[in-house]
Amino acid sequence: MKISIITVVYNNQLTIRDAIESILCQTYKDIEYIIVDGASTDGTIEVIKSYGNKITTFISEPDNGLYDAMNKGIALATGEVVGILNSDDFYSDAFVVEKIMKIFSTQDVQSVFADLVYVHPDNLDKVVRHYDSSYFHPSKFAYGWMPAHPTFFVKREMYQKYGVFKVDYKIAADYELLVRFLAKYEVSYMYLNEVIIKMRIGGISTSGLKSNYILNKELIRACRENEIYTNWLMVLSKYPKKIWGLIKK
């Protein structure tokens, strides 16, 4: 069974190599690796090209943002399973994809997700917060909760049936897609009780009060567009558990 892994990147010369290396070292060999670059100008393209044909597909062109680039990658994918690895992130070890694909090959399931940890950008061994996806149930979407999207792997046919990322979302298109897949259309899932992704802190969804306001507004919109009742109070109730994630690290 082939898996397609997509990395989207724009001007991320300093960290893209970690993402690439964490895929190339995987023990699972039937990997189609797709990189979608947004016409970087900082040397990112040169880093990617240095890997030659180890990258299955590489395109570099202007896009309409992160989610548009992800959609381009999905359109290029030919694997039965699709995963997305952000250019700031990397897999926790060389066996991640093998474990994920074992679930798909032995279980009747359409998607898999797991845990991730946020790490300090200057010390990748320093865990800042633990994102525990085990608490997830589709009913939690109304409270602003989702499984960690970077750990989400899904059969490609789900994108074909239920659509891709909505590009008019600024921050929470990943949340909306998971609401649509896991709640509205009841895509089956399995949780892998392991940390499989290390994510550097400092992403757009964690970059200040304004971003958090936009994020929460879009979470409410995503629920309502997919016929899930929620409100501001329900969505904001997630923050105490985020504090618990800091303690649990």
pLDDT for residue 138 is more than 90: yes
Averaged pLDDT of the chain: 94
pLDDT at 205: 47
Tens digits of per-residue pLDDT, 40-72? Answer: 999 999 999 999 999 999 999 999 999 999 999
Instruction: Provide, rounded to the nearest whole percent, the portion of the chain with pLDDT above 70.
Output: 94
Residues across the chain: 249
Tens digits of per-residue pLDDT, 166-225? Answer: 999 999 999 999 999 999 999 999 999 999 999 998 755 445 678 889 999 999 999 999
| Domain 3-248, second-level architecture | Alpha-Beta Complex (3.90)
Average pLDDT estimate for 240-246? 57
pLDDT at 239: 77
DSSP per residue over 12-81, as a string? -TTTHHHHHHHHHT-S---EEEEEEE----SSHHHHHHTTGGGSSEEEE---SSHHHHHHHHHHH--SSE
User: Whole-angstrom Cα distance, residue 21 to residue 88?
Assistant: 12
pLDDT at 181: 98
Estimate the share of the chain in helix, then strand, then coil, as percent rounded to the nearest 5.
45, 25, 35
Instruction: Provide, rounded to the nearest whole percent, the portion of the chain with pLDDT above 90.
Output: 89
pLDDT at 203: 56
